[in-house]
Amino acid sequence: MKLQSLADLFQHELQDIYDAEYRIARALEKSAKHITDPKLKKAAEAHLEETETQIERLEQIFESTGITRKRKVCKGIQGILEEAEEVLASDSTPEALDAAMIAGMQRVEHYEIAAYGCAISYAKMLGEKDAEKLLKKTRDEEEKTDKKLTKLAEQGINEKALISDDQHMQVAM
Ligand code: FE
Ligand code: FE
C-alpha cells in the first residue's frame, strides 16, 4: 500500500469502508432473519436499506474523485462480524440474542462513525466538497442508527433478556 500523503490516506479509507459496507449489508440481512423483536427487526431492515444507499454514495464518490473503485478487505469489520456470527451460532434465548444483536450492531456503527469521521476530515482538507457532503450524510445515518439502537436496548430489549434469564434460572432450579 502506498501511503505517502493525505490523498493516499483518503483513498485507503474509502476503499476500506467500501468493503466494510458490503460486508455489513450482508450481515444485516442475515441478522434481521434471526431477530425476534419486531421493532428491532424493522430497525435492522431499515438500516440495510440505508446501507445499500451508502454503498451507492461511495460509488458516486469514486466517480467524482477519480479514485479507483475497489474493495480493500476491512479486517476491523470482518472481526466484528465474526463475533456476531459466533453469537448467532450460540445456544441462546431469542431475548438474549436480540440484545446481543444490538451490541454487535452498535460495534459496527461506532466503527463506521469513526471511519466516516476521518474520511470527512480528509475530504475537507483535499477540497472534495461533494464527497464531504455525501460522507456526512452517511455519518449522520450511522449516528442516528446508533442512537436508535441504544433506545431499543434500554427501552425494553435488555429488560426482556433479563426476564428470560430469570425464567431460565427457575427452570434450572
Ligand atoms: Fe454504513
Ligand atoms: Fe451503519
Per-residue pLDDT tens over the stretch 43-80: 999 999 999 999 999 999 999 999 999 999 999 999 99
Average pLDDT of the residues in 79-99:
94
In the prediction, which pLDDT does 63 show?
Answer: 97
In the prediction, which pLDDT does 124 show?
Answer: 98
Q: In terms of pLDDT, which residue wins out, 127 or 169?
A: 127
Distance CA 8, CA 170 (A): 58
**Which residues neighbour ligand 2 (ion) by CB within 5 Å?**
112, 142
Report phi then psi at 145, rounded to 5: -65, -45
* pLDDT at residue 127 greater than cutoff 80: yes
In the chain, % of residues over pLDDT 70: 94
Measured in Å, residue 111 CA sits from the centre of ligand 1 at 9
pTM: 0.92
Measured in Å, residue 142 CA sits from the centre of ligand 1 at 6
Measured in Å, residue 29 CA sits from the centre of ligand 1 at 13
User: End-to-end distance of the chain based on CA atoms, in angstroms?
Assistant: 58
For the 6-172 domain, the top CATH level (class) is mainly alpha
* pLDDT at residue 171 greater than cutoff 70: no
Distance CA 143, CA 159 (A): 23
pLDDT tier at 2 (50, 70, 90 boundaries)?
confident
Measured in Å, residue 11 CA sits from the centre of ligand 1 at 17
Measured in Å, residue 166 CA sits from the centre of ligand 2 at 33
In the prediction, which pLDDT does 163 show?
Answer: 83
Average pLDDT of the residues in 94-109:
97
Distance CA 13, CA 7 (A): 10
Alpha helices, DSSP H, located in the chain:
6-34, 38-65, 75-88, 94-125, 129-152, 158-172
Measured in Å, residue 166 CA sits from the centre of ligand 1 at 36
Select from 30, 33, 27, 3 the least CA-distant residue to 15. Answer: 3
Average pLDDT of the residues in 21-36:
96
* pLDDT at residue 101 greater than cutoff 80: yes
Measured in Å, residue 124 CA sits from the centre of ligand 1 at 20
Distance CA 46, CA 143 (A): 14
